[in-house]
């Protein structure tokens, strides 16, 4: 019973991801594009929850859905008038985009479907231990990640300073 529910949820989430990501790149109103992006990010967080990575799903919701999309909506409202539509695509441009994406997708799907992956050892066994995540993030041993964590904190500091420097009035 639980397995059936799991499968139904997976199919709903992946249908949402596919439909909304196509809508994100085809709609002509940019504010709607940002809203559809938000739905895609929600569905992705749902996939993370389903794979038992609850912490990652929470991070995805907090950082992407809560932070980045709000930034997008703010900047869209700052730079475009209400109800503004982007101009229609020329056929040439659409053809190039379709060629690039469909040929890329065909190549990628061919490689995926013909490659034989090693046998999966995944069994649905409860959430990841939060203590283990914390130790891995903050430890200094092998396979622990304090150095990238600190590098990322310096990057975020540089990004704050850079954002202020670029965007302030002279």
Partner 1 sequence: MEIPMIYYLVVSAIMFFAGVYGFVTRRNLLAVLISLELMLNAVDINFVVFNRYLFPGQLEGFMFTLFAIGIAAAETAVAIAIIINIYRSIHNVQAKNLDDMKY
CB-nearer residue toward partner 1: 80 or 82: 80
Site for partner 1 in 103-132 (CB under 8 A): 104-105, 108-109, 112-113, 117-118, 120-124, 128, 132
State in angstroms the smallest separation of the CB of 50 from partner 1: 8
- What residues contact 146, with CB distance under 8 A and at least 6 apart? 137, 138, 139, 140
How many Cα atoms within 13 Å fall on the side-chain side of residue 3? 2
Distance CA 128, CA 78 (A): 41
Q: What would the x/- binding string for partner 1 be over residues 49 to 78, using CB under 8 A?
A: --xxx--x--xx--xx--xx--xx--xx-x
State in angstroms the smallest separation of the CB of 83 from partner 1: 15
Residue of 130, 114, 119, 5 whose CA lies nearest to 57: 130
Distance CA 13, CA 32 (A): 20
Q: Does 34 bind partner 1 (CB under 8 A)?
A: yes
Site for partner 1 in 86-105 (CB under 8 A): 86-87, 89, 93-94, 96-98, 100-102, 104-105
State in angstroms the smallest separation of the CB of 3 from partner 1: 5
Distance CA 64, CA 148 (A): 20
Number of residues that bind partner 1 (CB under 8 A): 78
């Amino acid at each position: 019973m639980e397995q059936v529910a799991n499968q139904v949820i997976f199919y709903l989430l992946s249908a949402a991801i596919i439909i909304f990501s196509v809508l994100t790149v085809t709609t002509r109103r940019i504010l709607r594009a940002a809203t559809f992006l938000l739905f895609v990010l929600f569905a992705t967080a749902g996939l993370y929850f389903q794979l038992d990575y609850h912490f990652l799903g929470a991070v995805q919701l907090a950082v992407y859905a809560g932070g980045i999309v709000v930034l997008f909506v703010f900047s869209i409202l700052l730079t475009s008038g209400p109800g503004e539509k982007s101009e229609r695509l020329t056929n040439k441009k659409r053809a190039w985009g379709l060629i690039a994406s469909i040929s890329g997708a065909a190549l990628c799907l061919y490689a995926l479907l013909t490659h034989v992956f090693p046998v999966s050892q995944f069994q649905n066994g409860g959430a990841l231990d939060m203590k283990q995540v914390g130790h891995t993030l903050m430890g200094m041993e092998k396979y622990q990640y304090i150095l990238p964590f600190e590098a990322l904190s310096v990057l975020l500091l540089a990004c704050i300073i850079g954002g202020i420097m670029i965007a302030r009035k002279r």
